[in-house]
Chain A
Amino acid sequence: MAADMGAFGFHSPSSSLFFSCFVLEVCCFKRPGSYGSTLRYKSVERMKPIGKHSLLGASGEISDFQEILRYLDELILYDNMWDDGNSLGPKEVHNYLTRVMYNRRNKFNPLWNSLVLGGVKKGQKYLGTVSMIGVNFEDNHVATGFGNHLARPILRQEWHENLSFEDGVRLLEKCMRVLLYRDRSAVNKLQIAKITEVGVTISQPYSLKTYWEFSAFENPAQGAIGSW
Chain B
Amino acid sequence: MDLEMNLNAPHSMGTTIIGVTYNGGVVLGADSRTSTGMYVANRASDKITQLTDNVYVCRSGSAADSQIVSDYVRYFLHQHTIQLGQSATSKVAANLIRLLSYNNKTMLETGLIVGGWDKYEGGKIYAIPLGGTLIEQPFAIGGSGSSYLYGFFDQAWKEGMTKDEAEQLVVKAVSLAIARDGASGGVVRTVIINSEGVARNFYPGDKLQLWHEELEPQNSLLDLLNSS
Kindly state the interface size class of chain B when it binds its partner. Answer: 35 or more
Partner of B216, one of A207, A217, A227: A207
Q: Are A131 and B224 in contact, CB atoms less than 8 angstroms apart? A: no
State in angstroms the CA–CA spacing of A80 and B33 once bound together. Answer: 50
B67 beta carbon closer than 8 Å to chain A: yes
B118 beta carbon closer than 8 Å to chain A: no
Q: Other than A226-B67, A226-B71, give 14 A-B pairs with Cβ distance below 8 A.
A: A34-B182, A37-B144, A38-B181, A39-B181, A43-B213, A146-B39, A169-B220, A185-B38, A188-B214, A204-B224, A209-B206, A210-B206, A226-B74, A228-B13
- Which chain A residues border B38 with CB–CB below 8 Å? 13, 146, 183-185
Indicate whether A219 sits within 8 Å of B222 (C-beta atoms), given known contacts A114-B2, A182-B40, A226-B49.
no
State in angstroms the CA–CA spacing of A181 and B183 once bound together. Answer: 12
B202 beta carbon closer than 8 Å to chain A: yes
A160 beta carbon closer than 8 Å to chain B: no
A109 beta carbon closer than 8 Å to chain B: no
State in angstroms the CA–CA spacing of A54 and B2 once bound together. Answer: 24
> What distance in Å separates the Cβ of B59 from its nearest Cβ neighbour in chain A?
9
Give me the interface of B with A, judged by CB distance under 8 Å: 1-5, 13-14, 32-35, 38-40, 42-47, 49-50, 63, 67, 70-71, 74, 144, 148, 179-183, 185-187, 200, 202, 204-206, 212-222, 224-225
Residue in chain A with minimal CB distance to B47: A228
Query: 27 A–B contact pairs at CB < 8 A?
Result: A13-B38, A38-B180, A38-B182, A39-B180, A42-B212, A132-B2, A146-B39, A148-B3, A166-B222, A170-B222, A181-B40, A182-B40, A182-B43, A184-B38, A184-B40, A203-B225, A204-B224, A205-B215, A210-B205, A212-B204, A217-B204, A220-B45, A221-B50, A225-B50, A227-B67, A228-B34, A228-B42
Residue in chain A with minimal CB distance to B38: A184
> What distance in Å separates the Cβ of B81 from its nearest Cβ neighbour in chain A?
15
Q: Are A184 and B205 in contact, CB atoms less than 8 angstroms apart? A: no
State in angstroms the CA–CA spacing of A188 and B40 once bound together. Answer: 15
Interface size on A, residues (CB 8 A): 53
- Which chain A residues border B187 with CB–CB below 8 Å? 212, 217
Residue in chain A with minimal CB distance to B215: A207
Partner of B222, one of A169, A182, A209: A169
State in angstroms the CA–CA spacing of A166 and B67 once bound together. Answer: 46
